[in-house]
Amino acid sequence: MKIAVLGTGGGARAHAAKLVDLGHEVYVGTRDPEATLARTEPDMMGNAPYGQWLAEHPGITLKTFGDAAAAADTLVVNGIDGHNAVAALTTIADRLAGKTLVDYAVPFVYEHETEHPWPTPWGVMPKLEPCDTDSLGEQIQRALPATKVVKSFVTQEQTTVVDPKAVGGGDHTMFVAGEDADAKRQVTDLLKAYGWTDVLDLGPLVCARGMEMYAHLHSAIGFGLGQRFGGHFGIKVVR
Ligand SMILES: NC(=O)c1ccc[n+]([C@@H]2O[C@H](COP(=O)([O-])OP(=O)(O)OC[C@H]3O[C@@H](n4cnc5c(N)ncnc54)[C@H](OP(=O)(O)O)[C@@H]3O)[C@@H](O)[C@H]2O)c1
């Protein structure tokens, strides 16, 4: 299948590499392919410059966000930074129409003033915006009414999403939420291909609120485990 991954960050790289391993034709989207390939410094998370990473991962085609989305048959992964995702996706709405968009972004705002900061090993914890009464997943769906948005992947580091067996032998839970049953089935099938055995359908896309708000607990658990970032753990819904 031709699948698009919008984003060049660490999470998007995990999906792109895994999808190639699974035999898919992968199109990665970025703002400006030339500028992305010209980078020589690691990104803010310490990931190697994209051109260097791409050279080590043949089989991936780098395009603009719009051209990558247009190249996908039916499935697109959104790995655009959460604070900028709605604006970036709105400009390519026509290229996403009719497709399933699985979104794992967190609507983090990194620079913010707060009376009660949460100091972490890597700086003040970003705030979630929107939060509580709306979610990024719902904002994206409202901006792209012709696209089937599914929120998933967001509750774990993407390295463990694409390789669930690397944690606890794979005995942990992944969630999906969205309005379209076929789109959720498509994302669930992808998760099964990744190795997931426990995929819990939370129901409508409004449940993206809970999945995104989990981001703070995810960070807290990581700190509790002594993991600065890139938490290597999963969550299991015991029932
Ligand atoms: N990494 C994980 O394991 C993980 C886990 C759970 C949730 N998340 C969330 O998922 C999202 C993506 O994470 P990530 O680590 O894969 O990548 P990231 O480093 O958070 O985001 C990188 C992507 O965002 C794009 N971007 C940044 N600023 C932009 C702007 N102003 N306009 C348009 N695009 C912009 C970049 O475009 P260029 O390619 O042009 O630079 C790049 O493709 C984030 O919200 C993150 O919090 C990540």
Residue 36 in contact with ligand 1 by CB distance below 6 A? yes
- Find the helix or strand (DSSP H, E) in which 143 lies: helix 136-143
Residue 79: exposure state from Cβ atoms within 10 A (0-12, 13-18, ≥19): buried
Torsion angles phi and psi, residue 224, rounded to 5 = -60, -30
Residue 79 in contact with ligand 1 by CB distance below 6 A? yes
Residue 170 in contact with ligand 1 by CB distance below 6 A? no
**Among the atoms of ligand 1, which is closest to the Cα of residue 8?**
43
Q: Which of helix, strand or coil describes residue 184?
A: helix
- Of 213, 172, 153, the C-alpha closest to 5 is 153
pLDDT band at 35 (very low <50, low <70, confident <90, very high): very high
Q: What is the pLDDT of residue 231?
A: 87
Give percent of the chain above pLDDT 70.
100
Q: Which of helix, strand or coil describes residue 72?
A: coil
Give the integer Cα–Cα distance in Å for 6 and 16.
Answer: 9
* Two tokens, residue 185: 């089935």
Residue 191 in contact with ligand 1 by CB distance below 6 A? no
* Two tokens, residue 179: 């309005």
Beta bridge partners of 148: 100
Q: What is the pLDDT of residue 98?
A: 98
Give the mean model confidence (pLDDT) for residues 141-165.
98
Q: What is the pLDDT of residue 72?
A: 99
**Among the atoms of ligand 1, which is closest to the Cα of residue 82?**
45
Going by C-beta distance under 8 Å and a sequence separation of 6 or more, which residues neighbour residue 133? 209
pLDDT band at 222 (very low <50, low <70, confident <90, very high): very high
- Of 217, 223, 239, 214, the C-alpha closest to 104 is 214
Give the integer Cα–Cα distance in Å for 5 and 32.
Answer: 15
Contact 99, 76 (CB under 8 A): yes
Residue 231 in contact with ligand 1 by CB distance below 6 A? no
Angle between helices 136-143 and 208-224 (to 10 degrees): 140
Q: What is the pLDDT of residue 44?
A: 84
Give the mean model confidence (pLDDT) for residues 76-103.
98
Residue 81 in contact with ligand 1 by CB distance below 6 A? yes
Mutate to test the pocket of ligand 1, among 81, 161, 217 (most ligand atoms within 8 A of CB): 81
Considering just the CA atoms, what is the radius of gyration of the chain in Å?
A: 17
Contact 177, 208 (CB under 8 A): yes
pLDDT band at 121 (very low <50, low <70, confident <90, very high): confident
Q: Whose CA is nearest to atom 32 of ligand 1?
A: 84
Contact 103, 136 (CB under 8 A): yes
Domains and CATH numbers, the chain: 2-224 (3.40.50.720)
